[in-house]
């Protein structure tokens, strides 16, 4: 009898938690997505507003726009940092998905998402991979680009987390760099390293590169030179029961590392910060992860070592965060929700699905400045040591010619324009 009732309790408990990170979590994520669009940009009620948004992007934000037209991606030659990995990974992730309907947006290539407010404001939709100051910051959240190819990411992530629980090191694990940026990310790193150095039984938290910032905001109290640790590949993170995430070194916002933690079958500790990513509305402190800071990190690690129930619940919930939000299909689901929401709010159907309208918008554009973006040989850019996209540029940027539908339309727009101005000068 006792056994039966215990089983019932477990079953009910599982159902409840599943709802929280599954459908209920998605509802929160989608609501924040829609809120950021609704409150961030006046809705296009008709063709004129839709034209206004698209025109701004094509002509005013030339180096920032991303256009998906007839299942092909385009940007301008001057797309900021085209040589960089991040830009390539962003496009390769999009190209690895099922074809998305026509849409346009600007994209802030930065880690903090602050360019959206500074440069674009409310004049066009602006995509960001993180908001360093929280949800109210301008912009629309998209997944960071370090998944690079959703199928490849999925296949790799599903092989991680293999170490059985009994064989795991019970300590909290972290590896990473401290660099000279005076960012909250480096401040958090120094604080965590210092706390860990005082509790070696609870932490295996070590740096792999150490060049600490010298600035007033950040004081380094302890001598952390000895807190060096050997590099550990992502595929070996599951040797630990609990994993710590710290804000990124560069901007103190998102951390690429966090992508790799959810699938490890470990409890996740997230350093408290205002920065948010797209799936954060689904996270619950104490359920999906433990929020920690300077004051609570040591106690949280001690709890995990002491309390098996808390640890096991956190492990199970972290795995569900991966299965619901960070799997390849999950990333794709978010992107298709996002594109649908953008199309509805900015009425891209009225200007991008209609060639006559789009042609009109292309008048005055330098057609030779447009580039198409295709997936190149991406098999080399996941690196087996890091198990992450690490080197290489998986995208190919091409100049366009008359065989390309956008180029043909763009050229025709310039010719029409010449013809119509000639006609008007003759009339005059």
Residue closer to ligand NAG, measured from CB, 106 or 259: 259
| Dist CA 317 CA 20 (whole Å) | 10
Residue closer to ligand NAG, measured from CB, 333 or 386: 386
Residue closer to ligand NAG, measured from CB, 380 or 420: 380
Please state whether beta strands 290-292 and 267-271 pair in parallel, antiparallel, or not at all (unpaired).
Answer: parallel
Contacts of 153 (CB under 8 A, 6+ apart): 147, 328, 331
Residue closer to ligand NAG, measured from CB, 236 or 336: 236
DSSP label of 324: I
Q: Which two tokens stand for residue 194?
A: 């210092």
CB of 239 to ligand NAG, least distance (A): 7
CB of 292 to ligand NAG, least distance (A): 26
Residues that bind ligand NAG (CB under 6 A): 233, 235-236, 377, 379-380, 385
> Could you tell me the CA-to-CA distances from 227 to 10, 19, 198, 248, 250 in Å, in that order?
42, 41, 11, 19, 21
H or E segment and range at residue 344? helix 328-346
| Dist CA 57 CA 68 (whole Å) | 13
CB of 230 to ligand NAG, least distance (A): 9
**Nearest-CB residue to ligand NAG?**
380
CB of 165 to ligand NAG, least distance (A): 17
Nearest alpha carbon to residue 260 among 375, 107, 416, 382: 382
Residue closer to ligand NAG, measured from CB, 27 or 162: 162
CB of 330 to ligand NAG, least distance (A): 25
CB of 233 to ligand NAG, least distance (A): 4
Q: Which two tokens stand for residue 266?
A: 């470990």
Per the CB < 8 A criterion, the answer to whether 150 and 219 are in contact is no
Per the CB < 8 A criterion, the answer to whether 400 and 371 are in contact is yes
Residue closer to ligand NAG, measured from CB, 228 or 385: 385
């Amino acid at each position: 009898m006792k056994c039966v009732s215990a089983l019932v309790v477990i079953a009910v408990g599982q159902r409840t938690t599943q709802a929280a990170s599954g459908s209920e979590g998605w509802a929160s994520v989608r609501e924040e997505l829609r809120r950021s669009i609704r409150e961030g940009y006046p809705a296009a009620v008709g063709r004129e507003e839709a034209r206004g948004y698209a025109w701004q992007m094509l002509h005013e934000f030339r180096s920032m726009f991303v256009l998906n037209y007839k299942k092909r991606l385009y940007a301008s030659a001057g797309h900021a940092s085209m040589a960089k990995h991040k830009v390539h990974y962003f496009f390769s992730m999009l190209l690895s998905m099922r074809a998305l309907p026509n849409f346009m947006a600007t994209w802030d290539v930065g880690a903090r998402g602050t360019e959206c407010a500074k440069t674009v404001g409310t004049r066009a939709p602006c995509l960001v991979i993180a908001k360093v100051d929280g949800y109210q910051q301008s912009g629309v959240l998209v997944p960071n680009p370090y998944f690079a190819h959703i199928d490849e990411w999925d296949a790799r992530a599903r092989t991680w987390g293999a170490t059985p629980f009994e064989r795991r090191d019970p300590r909290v694990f972290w590896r990473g760099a401290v660099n000279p940026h005076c960012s909250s990310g480096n401040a958090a790193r120094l604080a965590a390293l210092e706390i860990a150095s005082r509790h070696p039984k609870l932490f295996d938290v070590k740096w792999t590169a150490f060049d600490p910032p010298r600035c007033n905001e950040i004081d380094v109290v302890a001598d952390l030179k000895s807190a060096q640790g050997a590099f550990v590949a992502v595929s070996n993170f599951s040797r630990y029961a609990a994993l710590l995430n710290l804000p990124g070194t560069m901007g103190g916002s998102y951390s690429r590392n966090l992508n790799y933690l959810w699938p490890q079958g470990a409890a996740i500790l997230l350093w408290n910060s205002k920065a948010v990513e797209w799936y954060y509305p689904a996270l619950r402190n104490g359920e999906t992860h433990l929020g920690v800071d300077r004051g609570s990190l040591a106690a949280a690690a001690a709890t995990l070592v002491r309390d098996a129930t808390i640890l096991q619940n956190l492990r199970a919930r972290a795995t569900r965060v991966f299965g619901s939000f960070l799997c390849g299909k999950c990333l794709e689901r978010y992107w298709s929700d996002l594109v649908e929401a953008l199309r509805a709010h900015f009425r891209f159907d009225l200007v991008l699905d209609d060639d006559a309208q789009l042609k009109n918008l292309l008048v005055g554009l330098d057609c030779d400045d447009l580039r198409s973006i295709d997936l190149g040989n991406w098999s080399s850019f996941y690196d087996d040591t890091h198990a992450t996209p690490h080197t290489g540029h998986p995208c190919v940027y091409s100049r366009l010619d008359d065989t390309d539908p956008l180029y043909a339309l763009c050229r025709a727009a310039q010719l029409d324009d010449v013809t119509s101005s000639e006609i008007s000068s003759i009339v005059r």
